[in-house]
Structure formats: structure tokens, C-alpha cells
Chain A
Amino acid sequence: MSFPSRPQGRNSGFIHPLSSEITPRAVYESRRDLLKLVAGGAAGAALASFAGREAFAQATGPHKLALLPGAKSAVPGAQTMEKLTDYKDATSYNNFYEFGTDKGDPVKNAGTLKTRPWTVEVEGLVKKPGKYGIEDLLKLSAQEERIYRLRCVEGWSMVIPWVGYSLAELIKRVEPQGNAKYVEFITLADPKTMPFVGSRVLDWPYTEGLRMDEAMHPLTLLAFGMYGEVLPNQNGAPVRLVVPWKYGFKSAKSIVKIRFVEKEPSTAWNKAAAQEYGFYSNVNPNVDHPRWSQATERRIGDGGGLFAKRNKTLMFNGYEAQVGQLYAGMDLKKNY
């Protein structure tokens, strides 16, 4: 007995598509963009919601926390179309040393964090210093959804839909003085609710900083939510920073103070290990961490699981077109 139509001998049972027949990612992504553009512009709201249903469904959390929807952001670079990291992974694999140094610690221990009432103090070289209640901050500008890549200095990455608005919106309101060159972010250090404050791992409170032009860049996000909901405690509730072209630790969590200063502020990780964590900490595949390469990264939950290949890390985490000019003429090996 023989099978009727076997074209090329016994090994042809599996006919693999030619690699040229697989749609390149860029083409497939631009198709989705096109579909959304058409739907949003020409065909009206009904179609738009249809085309956007996938992104919306992806970007929704498990509805455990208060909803915080954001309108799709028009900021260039704010809408990567990569597969989102699962909410579960993004909220259970965190670095938030105030709650423990293991990445599973924050989700276990951050339940004690009290996010109401919450005020953020703006001080230093500004015309309008003051204390801003979280409710006022939430309303200060329209909430936008931004889908950013997040690259950790440890060599893993995620894709997270944040909700918030450009930090520039707040900065404009408080009117920095001409001699304000840097912005310093100081985060909560409450030994009562944060069990690891008091450990000698870092010099508390956790501080971070940006140069003024970095802080004013439209991609720099003051985030209040993720996946369509308010931030979970372990992700930096109630308000954090997201600077997508820098390593994750530059994005201070649970901010209580924003200070405008003239001199480059010292930052928590820079103080702990200056040779490993510089002030800029831009994602840069060409500048290795002293103890490991930064050329590649592991995308958390990309479907390949354990056997997935590591991705190539992109310059400025793929935001070079948007932020490259901020560093024109700088030696990024020196200013790491």
C-alpha cells in the first residue's frame, strides 16, 4: 500500500514554510497599525473599538484594583506593539528593595504599604513648590496608556502598559527656575510598613535623578497605573516614574518628594556601587555591566518559556529615535 500524493520522497511529510513566507514582524506590526489607523480615522468609533479590542483586552488587569483607564497616547514611541507581559508576571517578579531583595518578596510584603493619604512634595529650585495630594496629581493631566518596554539592568525585560502622563506636565505646572538643572526623586522609606528599610543593602530613602531635559522628555512618564488599573503596591503605588530608555532602577517607585536642584544628585544605586550603576544608566548593549554582558536580555513570558532565546538588547532600549539626541556628543562609556 502506498500513499497517493507524496511529492518528494519520504522526508516531505513535514512541509515547512520557507522563511521568506513568514511575515516579517515589522510588516505585520505595520498592518496592525494601519488597521487601527483606518478604523480610528475613517470608519468611526465602532470599528476603532473593534480593532483596538485586542490591545484593550491585553491591557486589562484582573480587576482586583481600582480601574484607571488611559486614552491611547499619541507620544511617539509610546505604543510598542510587542506582546504584553502577563499581569501576573509583571506584578510578581519585581525589584522593590524596601520590601525585600528577592524578586518574589515585593508581592508578598508590599500589602502593608498605605497609599492613602499620599502627598508628593515638590521643592527646591521651583517657583511653585508645595505639597500635592495624590488625588490632585491624578487629575493634573489626562491619563494616557503607554506601552513601554522595560529593561532591567539584570538582563531581563518586560512589556508593560502603563497609565499616567508625561512628567513634563507636572514640571511645567511647578515652574522650575532657570538654574534648576536636575530633578531628584525621593521615595518613601517607612520602616513601619517597609520591612527592608533599615537593612544595609541601600542607603534609604531610595533616591534617583534625571537631568532636566531627560525629565522633560515626553516619554518620561509619571505613572499611576498599569494594565488599566491603579498601580499594585509592589509596582510602586501610588505614583512612580517610568523612564523607558533607562534601566529599570532609574524609575523611582512610591515617590514622596520631587526636588529641583542645580547639581547632579547622588542616587541610591550609584552610592551603593558606583562602578556598576552610573547616573545615566541608559540601556546600552555596548556597555557591559562589570559583571555581565548587556548585549542580550530575557523577555519575561514571551511564550518561549525556558527554551526561548534571549533577545538582542537595543540601544536606548529601542527608543533611540526619540531620545538619542539628548546624548549627542556624550561619551556613553564614561557616562554610563
Chain B
Amino acid sequence: MNKLLMHPAAKPVVFLLCLLPFAWLTYGAFTDGLGANPAEFLIRATGDWTLRFICIVLAVTPLRVMTKANALARFRRMLGLFAYFYVVVHLLCYSWFDMGFEWADIAKDIAKRPFILVGFSAFVLLTPLAATSFNRAIKALGAKRWQMLHKAVYLIAGLGLLHFFWMRAGKNNFAEVFVYATIVAVLLGWRVWNSANKRKPKPSAGARDGTEKSLRSSSAG
């Protein structure tokens, strides 16, 4: 598994996979393939993909630890940036196709409609995370502070879910909201459980060191 993930082609392949939804939506937009209300379709689909990428990026660390495929970590930054990419496209679609780039109307809409305000806040809060995703920013901030900042992703995920929940509230249709909420809750729960476990002194510390060493060697190979 690690070998595959370390392959020089792995990153470009994942990058292209992440672009697939965007390519598919763009193709649909130009070929009349997005149904009767293409604007609504684009706005909803890009919102969905933002939530999906947030779930995917949050799943990287648990997956890495559970499967011991440490090389998964190489993809975390790219996946996080794709979450940001899709939220930017989401916002752009809303501003363009729903609001016709009428900035005054957009400002009023954000102020007036709580669910838009919450969604917009999530975007604003995600921006510093995206902006500090290059190596020098990590150095400049210091690893600890950088990590603190990036833990805000859970708050942002919560805001994104609230945005989605309120969007669906009028129609009492929460099935999808609950699916995403469950995934985020499980991933957050795993982290809480994991860090609590780490703090406990383990009797078999030596054995654990051994596995970690063997892991390191396997990921290097």
C-alpha cells in the first residue's frame, strides 16, 4: 500500500481524480447536461463536493493510523486545498448564477439570511487554513501554532453542516445532512478517543516502538 502511495505518479493521479467532479460539472454546463435548473445544480453539487472533501481530508489521519499506510499523509494538503477549491467554486457559482455578481445584493443576502451567513463564515474561516498550507507558513507559524490553526477545520466543518442543515430545514429533508454529520462526528470522535489513548501510559511501550520502527522502514522503502 505504502509503495503504491509513494509512486511518483500517485500525486498527479490523485490530483486528477480530485478534479473529476469539476470537469464533469463544467462539461455538463456546456452540454446542457445539468437538468432543468443548471444554476441550482451547480451550486448544490459544488456545496456537496466541498463537504465531501472536508470529510475525505478529515479521514486521512484515522485511515493512516488504522491501516498503517503512512504515505497517505502525503495527500492531506492536496485534499484540503481541494476542499477550499470547491468552496470557492461554490461561492463563485452562487455569486454569479444566483446573484449575477450584484455585490450589493450579495452583501445584503449574506447579512439577511442566516444560512448564507453561516456558509460564508465557514468560507472565510477556511481561508487562513488554505493560505497557510505551504511549508514556509508552517515554519513561520511554528508547528504547534500551525496545528492549532488547522484544528479549526472541525469548527468549519460544523458551520458547513449547519449551513446545509438550514438550507434543508424548510423542507424537513435532513437525510443527507445526517450522513455528513455522522461522518464528521465519527472522525472527530476517533481523534478524541485516539488522543485520550495516547496520553495514557501504555504498559507495552516497547512493543509499540517496535511496530513504529518497522513502519518507518516500510514507508521509506
Residues of A within 8 A of B38 (CB): 305-306
Q: Which residue of B lies closest to A158 (CB)?
A: B36
Binds B, one of A142-150, A166-174, A290-298: A290-298
When distances are taken between beta carbons in the complex, the residues of chain B under 8 Å from A93 are: 35-37
Q: A276-B170, A291-B115, A291-B166 are in contact. List 20 more A-B contacts (CB 8 A).
A: A89-B36, A92-B35, A93-B36, A101-B171, A101-B173, A103-B35, A156-B37, A200-B172, A201-B172, A202-B172, A273-B169, A273-B170, A291-B170, A298-B40, A301-B36, A305-B38, A306-B29, A306-B39, A307-B97, A310-B98
Query: What does the 1/0 interface line of A299-310 toward B look like (CB < 8 Å)?
Result: 011000111011
Say if the beta carbon of B32 comes within 8 Å of chain A: yes
B36 close to A300 (CB less than 8 A)? yes
Among residues 160 to 176 in chain B, which have CB atoms less than 8 Å away from a CB atom of chain A? 166, 169-173
Is B136 interfacial (CB 8 A cutoff)? no
B109 interface residue, CB < 8 Å from A?
yes
Per the 8 Å Cβ criterion, residues 161-196 of B in contact with A are: 166, 169-173
Q: Which residues of A contact B173 (CB under 8 A)?
A: 101, 201
Q: List the B side residues contacting A156 at CB < 8 Å.
A: 37, 40
The smallest beta-carbon distance between B40 and chain A, in angstroms, is: 7
Which A residues from 139 to 167 make CB contacts under 8 A with B? 156
Interface residue A104 (Cβ < 8 Å from any Cβ of B): yes
Q: Indicate whether B79 reaches chain A with its CB closer than 8 angstroms.
A: no
- Residues of chain B in range 117-166 having any CB-CB distance to chain A below 8 Å: 166
Asked if B113 is at the interface of the complex by the 8 Å CB criterion, the answer is yes
A34 is an interface residue with CB less than 8 A from chain B: no
Residue of B nearest to A202 (CB): B172
Residues of the A chain whose Cβ atoms lie less than 8 Å from the Cβ of B171: 101, 201
- Nearest chain A CB to B163 CB, angstrom units: 11
* Complex Cα gap A239–B166 (Å): 34
Q: Is B42 on the interface with A (CB-CB < 8 A)? A: yes
Provide the residues of chain A in CB contact with B21, threshold 8 Å: none
State how many angstroms separate the Cβ of B87 from the closest Cβ of chain A.
20
> What's the least CB distance linking B107 to chain A, in Å?
13
Task: Identify the closest chain B residue to A288 (Cβ).
Answer: B112
Specify which chain A residues have a CB less than 8 angstroms from the CB of B172 in the assembled complex. Answer: 200-202, 272-273
* B98 contact set on A, CB distance < 8 A: 310
Instruction: Please provide the chain B residues from 17 to 60 with a CB less than 8 Å away from any CB of chain A in the complex.
Output: 29, 32, 34-40, 42
- A293 and B40 CA atoms in complex are apart in Å by 15
CA–CA, A160 and B34, complex, Å:
21
Chain B contacts for A88, CB-based, 8 A: 36
Please give, as numbers and ranges, the residues of chain B lying within 8 Å of A300 by CB-CB distance.
Answer: 36-37
The answer to whether B39 and A298 have CB atoms under 8 Å apart is yes
B100 contacts the other chain (Cβ, under 8 Å)? Answer: yes
Query: How close is B162's CB to chain A, nearest CB, in angstroms?
Result: 13
Chain A nearest Cβ from B176, distance in angstroms: 10
Chain A residue at minimum C-beta to C-beta distance from B42: A306
Taken together as a complex, chains A and B put the C-alpha atoms of A202 and B34 apart, in Å, by: 28
Chain B neighbourhood of A276, CB < 8 A: 170
Assembled-state Cα–Cα distance A298/B39 (Å)? 9
B100 contacts which chain A residues (CB < 8 A)? 309-310
Q: Which residues of B contact A273 (CB under 8 A)?
A: 169-170, 172
- Contact (A291, B113) CB under 8 Å given A202-B172, A310-B100: yes
Question: A289 contacts which chain B residues (CB < 8 A)?
Answer: 170
Q: Mark B62-103, 1 if CB is under 8 A from A, else 0.
A: 000000000000000000000000000000000001101000
The contact sample of 30 A-B pairs, CB cut-off 8 A, is: A88-B36, A89-B36, A92-B35, A92-B36, A93-B36, A93-B37, A101-B171, A103-B35, A103-B36, A104-B35, A201-B171, A201-B172, A201-B173, A202-B172, A273-B169, A273-B172, A288-B112, A289-B170, A291-B114, A291-B115, A291-B166, A293-B109, A298-B37, A298-B39, A298-B40, A305-B32, A306-B29, A306-B34, A309-B100, A310-B98
Determine the distance from Cα of A11 to Cα of B38 in the docked complex, in whole angstroms: 35
Contacts of B112 in A (CB 8 A): 288, 293
Q: In the complex, what residues of A have CB within 8 A of residue B34's CB?
A: 306
Contact A306 B36 (CB under 8 A): no
Chain B, residue nearest A201 (CB)? B172
